[in-house]
Amino acid sequence: MYCRRLSLAPIFFFILILCSPVATYGGTPMEGVRDTTNKIIAIVSDPALKTPDKKKEKAGLIRAAVDERFNWEEMSKRALARHWSARTEEEKKEFIDLFGKLLERTYLDKVEGYSGEKVLYVDEVVDEKYATVSVKIVTKKDTEISVLYRVKKDGDNWLVYDISIEGVSLINNYRKQFNSIIVQNSYKELVDKLREKVEK
Amino acid sequence: MRALLHFSGDAVAKRNAALRKDRSLLTPLFGVPALFFSCILFLLCCTSLAWGISEIPASFQGENPFQAETEAHEITGSHSPGDSFSAGVRLEGEQGLKVAGLQDSQKEPPPEAGPKKQVQEEDNWMEEGKSQSPLPDPLEPVNRAFFHFNDKLYFWFLKPIGQGYEIALPILARVSIRNFFSNLMMPVRAVSCLLQGKFKGVGIELTRFMVNTSAGFLGFQDVAKIALDMPLQDEDLGQVLAFYGIGPGFYLDLPLLGPTTLRGAVGWGGQLYMNPLNYLLDEWWPNIFARTVDIVNSTSLRIGEYEALKEASLDPYIALRDAYYQFRLSQIEK
């Protein structure tokens, strides 16, 4: 009995070693970004979803794909920066929701105009739990737009917390705006403005 | 945003073209083009040479004291990919310097200190935004007024004209016209590369000009990029000034010209003398006509960019100011 258990041990470890990378390693950052991008491209170029009455359904599908990949909380935290810690839990929740919706809508507006632009995956740099994925978008107008995704490891997944387009970081840009509104007016004013923008 | 930037350069030139009508103002400058073009000719002859020694400039650039200095300042940003905030911190002026100083004093933490550094930055990002604006904006009220002026100018004039033009000409034609004008502006880019010691860039620009002007049908086709993999070198005099350590000064949002900084405006001033259109077209009306085509053409290719920025922002003025500055910083870094 004892002997038999001992002989099973190496096999057990072998299986464990085989399985462990699969269990803890959910693809590279670039694969993650590519995955989501391909999903969204498939949705926007699906002829069945191009009719006007399917517009809502299409937006819902894109939203779900984006939600999977974007870390709204991390984005909100970084966009509010020092004003984040002054917020109560409820305020934080409300802010994540509103800011997430604004970003989602901005993103939706962008991808809806998709008409066969090429997406080239240039490079990825991984450093512990952070990574960047550089992508090049070649437009129909023959211009190249360089896009940089900043991702952070969240469990098995790499989630996007910032996008830089031609060196302009989205979150840095919002941070400047938010800070200016909070300093010159108040946090409440910022939330009102956000809500107005989202509900429009 | 880039749309506005683009119009602006041309608008300066346009005003300059109007000035050109005054011949007396121009007479003392006739020596400049002659000198300039003989320089260009000389450089053209040296192109093959420049290609041959393209390895040397790389080492030269490394030894450049100015560059070494900027690299030292930016050391925090270029380290790990995860620190978007450290890049952000870098933009935050005073505070950025403080953080940079803090990390410099750690003397390049050994590899095992990596995670620690990130944790530290994780804490740091909360402090970001303490300094309200990295780019001083003492003229904000005036700038805001001009921002609104430019906004209306775009929506009431430029955009409708651009849209009409868009319908009239297919996209291929418009891209070709854009290529033609951008090929014409080679002197600005070549000289800017030269002044920064980017000899490879000079070589690329001159080769591009020769190839595109001949094989690319006067520059309508960008064959150098497609066939030779020689992309356009995005350099201008503002970047040259930045290269020599001159700060941005403060933010300016000029009527017709759009967002810039004091440094950028000085660069534009210098570039007025490098625009070949001024020397190629002697009469004022073809000159104005060429510039108008250029502006309308590039507008038609950029419709929607400014709208998107405005749509996504809570304070479009600040969004544009920051986007301009971030874009500029990334251009200078290259």
User: What does the pLDDT look like over B236-264, one tens digit per residue?
Assistant: 999 999 999 898 999 999 998 899 999 99
Q: Please indicate whether, in this complex, the C-beta atoms of B82 and A142 are within 8 angstroms of each other.
A: no
Encode burial over A36-55: b for 16+ CB neighbours within 10 A, e otherwise: bbebbeebbeeeebeeeeee
CA angle B310, B314, B316 (to 5 degrees): 40
Range of the domain at B13: 2-64+138-333
In a domain, B129, yes or no: no
ipTM of this complex prediction, to 2 decimal places: 0.81
In a domain, B177, yes or no: yes
Q: Please indicate whether, in this complex, the C-beta atoms of B319 and A82 are within 8 angstroms of each other.
A: no
| CA of residue B119 relative to chain centroid, distance | 35
Residue B77 has pLDDT above 50, yes or no: no
Name every residue whose Cβ is closer than 8 Å to that of residue B28 and which is 6 or more positions away in sequence.
none
In a domain, B191, yes or no: yes
Which of B178, B314, B318, B327 is the best substitution to test chain A (most A C-beta atoms within 10 A)? B314
The residues in A 151-180 lying below 8 A from B, measured between CB atoms, are 152, 161-162, 164, 166-169, 171-180
In a domain, B104, yes or no: no
Chain B residues in contact with A189 by the CB 8 A cut-off are none
Which of B133, B308, B326 lies nearest to residue A168, judging by beta carbons?
A: B326
Which of B2, B82, B312 lies nearest to residue A128, judging by beta carbons?
A: B82
Q: Looking at per-residue confidence, does B110 or B192 come out higher?
A: B192
Percent of chain B as helix, strand, coil, to the nearest 5? 75, 0, 25
User: What does the pLDDT look like over B89-111, one tens digit per residue?
Assistant: 333 333 333 333 333 333 333 44
Residue A176 has pLDDT above 70, yes or no: yes
Which of A110, A130, A172 lies nearest to residue B322, judging by beta carbons?
A: A172
pLDDT of residue A127: 87
Q: Does residue B222 sit at the A interface (CB-CB below 8 Å)?
A: yes
pLDDT of residue A5: 55
Q: Looking at per-residue confidence, does B113 or A177 come out higher?
A: A177
Could you give the percent of chain A with pLDDT greater than 90? 28
Mean pLDDT of A131-147: 88
User: What does the pLDDT look like over B261-296, one tens digit per residue?
Assistant: 999 999 999 988 888 888 888 788 888 889 899 999
Residue A110 has pLDDT above 60, yes or no: yes
Q: How far is B229 from chain A (nearest CA, A)?
A: 13
Could you give the percent of chain B with pLDDT greater than 70? 60
- Number of domains chain B is built from: 1
In a domain, B173, yes or no: yes
Q: What is the pLDDT confidence band of residue B134, given thresholds at 50, 70 and 90?
A: confident
Chain B residues in contact with A132 by the CB 8 A cut-off are 81-82
Mean pLDDT of B114-140: 55
Q: What is the pLDDT confidence band of residue B123, given thresholds at 50, 70 and 90?
A: very low
Q: What is the pLDDT confidence band of residue B325, given thresholds at 50, 70 and 90?
A: very high
User: What does the pLDDT look like over A11-55, one tens digit per residue?
Assistant: 655 555 555 444 444 578 888 888 888 888 888 888 888 777 887
In a domain, B83, yes or no: no
Could you give the percent of chain B with pLDDT greater than 90? 40
In a domain, B187, yes or no: yes
Element spanning B224, H or E: helix B223-228
* Gyration radius from chain B CA atoms: 22
Tell the residue number behind the tokens 């440094």, with chain if given.
B263
In a domain, B118, yes or no: no
Chain A residues in contact with B82 by the CB 8 A cut-off are 127-132, 150, 152
